[in-house]
Amino acid sequence: MKRWLQGIYSLLVTFGIDPRKTLYSVKGLPGYFWDFWQLKSQKSSTERVFHFGRLYPCLGERYAESGAAKGHYFHQDLLVARRIYANNPRTHVDVGSRVDGFVAHIASFRQIHVIDIRPLPTAIPNVRFMQADLMETDVAVDLIDYCDSLSCLHAIEHFGLGRYGDPVNYDGYLLGLSNLQRILKRSGKLYFSVPIGPQRIEFNAHRIFSVNYLLQYFDGKYQIDSFSFVDDQGDLHENTPITTSGIKSNFGCLYGCGIFEMTKL
């Protein structure tokens, strides 16, 4: 029942209707009008350096916290940025991660090369951008063994589902993973994250990977140096031992985020 309701909620949000925001906005109306009346009343008894312009209601924010310090992107971006800062690689490349999150974190202290299927029209200091489709059968020759540090955070799960205008390809994620391996030098670091839980496709948003499937794929290709995950409540579990029970249960996640730091063999 809960998953069904979440599905309906996601569908409404897709069409620009957010029931949660609507509820908070209605709840915030009385306070908005009361505060407006108070401010107008105070205007007559003070120096009038500000006049009233157009109304710009922000109705639900009085019920919000100071920020959302949880969730997949918040935790993975900070965790991996910290690790890259500590490891200080010669050349770091990112594939498909969020520019307004992880990429911005890295660019604040070092240069980062970014590859994405989508264009990046804005020039950003410390960011060298290349538009490319990593589902191509063969990565460009000049990208083979290109870097000693590579990240791909919350991106591979989208490959081949058409969400971002990419060609539909059932095995698109495998092509992407293969090209990641080609780009990274031997003994280089791969920082990798995807949704974890019972394995499935939720079209056309993403794939969710079982931990067991990921471990089988990485076997013989990478050494896993550390594993962390964000649970279904949005909380981070850092440097978690990979146990048999954890693998079997996907660490208790229906839609979590597995974060791997690995070395290419």
Domain co-membership, 58 together with 164: no
Domain co-membership, 31 together with 136: no
Predicted local confidence at residue 211, as pLDDT: 99
Domain co-membership, 106 together with 176: yes
Provide the CA 86 distance to its chain's centre, in angstroms. 21
Count how many domains the chain has: 2
Instruction: Single out the residue in 19, 41, 63 at which a domain terminates.
Output: 63
Range of the domain at 179: 72-264
pLDDT in tens, 54-81: 988 888 887 776 556 789 999 999 999 9
Predicted local confidence at residue 65, as pLDDT: 66
Domain co-membership, 14 together with 114: no
Domain co-membership, 87 together with 59: no
Structure tokens at 229: 């995950």
Domain co-membership, 147 together with 24: no
Domain co-membership, 34 together with 78: no
**Do the bridges between strand 184-196 and strand 236-237 make them parallel or antiparallel, or are there none, so unpaired?**
unpaired
Domain co-membership, 38 together with 155: no
Q: DSSP readout, 117-129?
A: SS---S--TTEEE
Predicted local confidence at residue 124, as pLDDT: 96
Radius of gyration of the chain (CA): 22
Instruction: Single out the residue in 45, 63, 81 at which a domain terminates.
Output: 63
Query: pLDDT-derived band of residue 4, with 50, 70 and 90 as boundaries?
Result: confident
Predicted local confidence at residue 162, as pLDDT: 94
pLDDT in tens, 185-239: 999 999 999 999 999 999 999 999 999 999 999 999 999 999 999 999 999 999 9
Domain co-membership, 98 together with 11: no
